C-alpha cells in the first residue's frame, strides 16, 4: 500500500528539530600498527585494517626489527597486502624516513571474527565499514588472483595453506605436552585467564580444518561423555595429556615428518620460479610460516628446533623475504 504524498510529507517534517552530532573516528579505540609507505600518500577516505591475534616487535636480524603478526596466516596476509599496496611493515630504525599510511594491523580477539578465525580484513570508507572479509575468503581471493592458471603453483599454494593445520597441531602439542607459554607468545593470553584459555584451546581446534582432519583423535573426548567424573577432573586440572593421548603424539609426528619431507621440494620449486605474482605470494606464505615458527614458538618446540637445526638457510631466506617489507 502506497502512503499518500501529503501524509508522507507531513510525516517527513518530524522530527521538527534535528541536532547534528560530531562524527567520531571509532578507530581511535583500537591499538593500531600502521603500515608504512615510501611515498607521500594522498589522503583517502578508503582504508583497510587487518585484524590479527597479536602483533610483536621482533628483531629478525641485529638492527632490523619489524612489528609482525604472531601467526603465519596473519603475517602472510599482512605481507601480501604490503606487496599489493606498496606498503611496509612498521618497525626498524631504517624506516624512520617513511610515512605512516592510514592502513593498519590491529590485534583483536578471535571472538571479533564472524567465524572465530583470524585474520579478517575490514575495509572502511568515511568511518563506515564497507566490507569484512574472513580468513577463508582472503585465502580464496589470493588464490583466485595469483594461481588462476598453473596446476603446480596451485598445488604448492594449497600445501602452504594447509600448513595452518600443522600450526594448530603444534600449538595444541605445545599446550598439551609442554606449557601454555605458546599461547602467551602467539595470542598474548593472560596466564591467569584460565577460563579464557580453555575457551581458546577449544576454538583453536576448529581452525585450519584440524577437527575434521583429525576427528579420530577425538574418540577419547567422546568417551568422556561416558565418564563425566574424568571429564570434570580433566577440566579442573587443565588441558593436560593423559595416557590415552598417545594417538595425538603419533599423528603429530606423522604430520611433522610429512612437512619436513615436502619442505625442500616446495622451497626448491619457489626458488626455481621466475619473478611473478605467484612466486611472490608463495614465497611470502612460506616465509611467514617459517618466521612465525622460529620466532613465536618456544625454542624447545619440535618444529622450531628442527627448522633451526636442519633448515637454517631456508629460515634465513625467509627472514630476507620478510625484511623486504
Contact residues: other proteins, CB under 8 A: 11, 14-21, 24, 26-27, 29-30, 49, 51, 106, 108-109, 111-114, 116, 122, 124, 127-129, 132, 192-193, 195-196, 199
Shortest distance, position 31 Cβ to other proteins, whole Å: 8
Nearer to other proteins (CB atom), residue 106 or residue 166: 106
Nearer to other proteins (CB atom), residue 17 or residue 299: 17
Shortest distance, position 170 Cβ to other proteins, whole Å: 24
Nearer to other proteins (CB atom), residue 135 or residue 266: 135
Rounded Cα gap, residues 37 and 39, in angstroms: 5
DSSP 191: T
Shortest distance, position 296 Cβ to other proteins, whole Å: 21
**What residues pair up with 98 in beta bridges, in sequence order?**
none
Q: Which residues make Cβ contacts (< 8 Å) with residue 228, sequence separation at least 6?
A: none
Shortest distance, position 74 Cβ to other proteins, whole Å: 16
Rounded Cα gap, residues 291 and 71, in angstroms: 9
Nearer to other proteins (CB atom), residue 160 or residue 186: 186
Is residue 187 a contact partner of residue 53, using CB atoms and an 8 Å limit? yes
Cis peptide bond N-terminal to 119, omega within 30: yes
State the cell numbers at 84.
599489493
3 state DSSP class of 135? helix
Nearer to other proteins (CB atom), residue 8 or residue 86: 8
Amino acid at each position: 500500500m502506497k502512503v499518500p504524498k501529503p501524509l508522507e510529507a507531513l510525516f517527513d517534517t518530524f522530527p521538527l528539530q534535528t541536532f547534528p552530532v560530531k562524527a567520531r573516528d571509532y578507530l581511535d579505540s583500537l591499538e593500531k600498527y600502521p603500515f608504512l609507505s615510501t611515498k607521500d600518500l594522498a589522503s583517502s577516505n578508503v582504508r583497510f585494517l587487518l585484524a590479527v591475534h597479536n602483533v610483536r616487535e621482533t628483531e629478525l636480524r641485529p638492527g632490523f626489527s619489524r612489528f609482525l603478526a604472531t601467526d603465519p596466516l596473519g603475517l602472510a596476509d599482512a605481507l601480501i597486502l604490503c606487496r599489493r599496496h606498496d606498503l611496509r611493515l612498521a618497525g626498524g630504525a631504517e624506516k624512520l624516513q617513511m610515512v605512516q599510511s592510514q592502513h593498519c594491523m590491529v590485534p583483536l580477539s578471535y571472538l571479533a571474527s564472524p567465524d572465530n578465525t583470524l585474520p579478517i580484513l575490514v575495509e572502511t570508507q568515511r568511518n563506515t565499514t564497507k566490507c569484512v572479509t574472513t580468513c577463508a575468503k582472503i585465502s580464496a581471493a589470493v588464490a583466485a588472483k595469483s594461481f588462476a592458471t598453473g596446476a603446480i603453483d596451485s598445488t604448492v599454494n594449497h600445501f602452504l595453506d594447509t600448513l595452518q593445520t600443522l600450526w594448530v597441531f603444534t600449538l595444541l602439542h605445545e599446550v598439551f605436552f609442554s606449557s601454555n607459554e605458546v599461547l602467551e607468545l602467539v595470542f598474548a593470553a593472560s596466564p591467569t585467564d584460565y577460563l579464557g584459555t580453555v575457551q581458546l584451546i577449544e576454538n583453536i581446534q576448529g581452525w585450519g580444518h584440524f577437527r575434521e582432519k583429525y576427528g579420530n583423535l577425538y574418540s577419547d573426548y567422546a568417551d568422556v561423555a561416558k565418564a563425566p567424573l574424568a571429564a570434570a577432573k580433566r577440566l579442573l586440572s587443565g588441558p593436560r595429556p593423559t595416557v590415552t593421548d598417545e594417538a595425538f603424539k603419533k599423528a603429530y609426528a606423522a604430520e611433522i615428518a610429512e612437512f619436513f619431507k615436502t619442505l625442500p621440494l616446495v622451497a626448491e620449486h619457489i626458488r626455481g620460479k621466475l619473478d611473478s605474482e605467484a612466486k611472490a605470494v608463495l614465497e611470502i606464505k612460506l616465509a611467514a610460516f617459517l618466521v612465525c615458527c622460529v620466532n613465536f614458538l618456544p625454542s624447545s618446540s619440535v618444529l622450531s628446533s628442527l627448522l633451526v637445526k636442519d633448515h637454517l638457510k631456508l629460515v634465513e631466506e625467509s627472514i630476507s623475504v620478510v625484511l623486504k617489507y
